[in-house]
Amino acid sequence: MTAARSRIRIRKGDLVEVIAGKEKGKRGEVLKADPRAQRVIVENLNLSKKHKRPRPLRDSGRMGQQQIEPGGVIDIAAPIPISNVMVVCPSCDRPTRVGHAIEEVKGAPAKVRVCTRSDCGKGVDR
Ligand SMILES: [Zn+2]
């Protein structure tokens, strides 16, 4: 069984650091995680410029004056492969591989994500 291996280790809301590519070393919060595509969208990272055309707004001509939606260039965060990012541990503030451990949460054993740094080992779930 290899199902556990392909399970995504990064979740929405995690702080991640980019470890490869042109934005190496930068950090940001995960806005969206896509386990199927194995990609994440991180705020303000991997921005790509999208050009928008100015266009008239529908139903705006009633008062005789037509409103125009302004065009221009907008920045959109493009997905990053999860292999290019690592979760930043909130305890030791370093990018880390995420491991799993069983811990007691509210009186019941639960699977939690932990920092794999040997001198840390604290949970990374916030
Ligand atoms: Zn840590």
Are the C-beta atoms of residues 21 and 84 closer than 8 Å to each other?
yes
Based on the fold, state whether residues 29 and 4 are members of the same structural domain: yes
Range of the domain at 43: 1-56+71-88
Based on the fold, state whether residues 52 and 100 are members of the same structural domain: no
Q: How far apart are the first and last CA of the chain?
A: 29
Based on the fold, state whether residues 19 and 2 are members of the same structural domain: yes
Q: Of the candidates 2, 31, 9, 5, which has an alpha carbon nearest to the alpha carbon of residue 112? A: 9
List pLDDT tens digits, range 37-68: 999 999 999 998 888 888 887 765 566 677 88
Based on the fold, state whether residues 10 and 30 are members of the same structural domain: yes
pTM for the full model?
0.76
* Ligand 1 centroid, distance to 98 Cα (angstroms): 9
Is residue 25 in some structural domain?
yes
* CATH number, domain with residue 47: 2.30.30.30
Residues, Cβ < 5 Å to ion ligand 1? 89, 91-92, 115, 117, 120
Residue 22 CB partners (closer than 8 Å, separation 6+): none
Q: Can you tell me whether residue 59 is helix, strand or coil?
A: coil
Is residue 4 in some structural domain?
yes
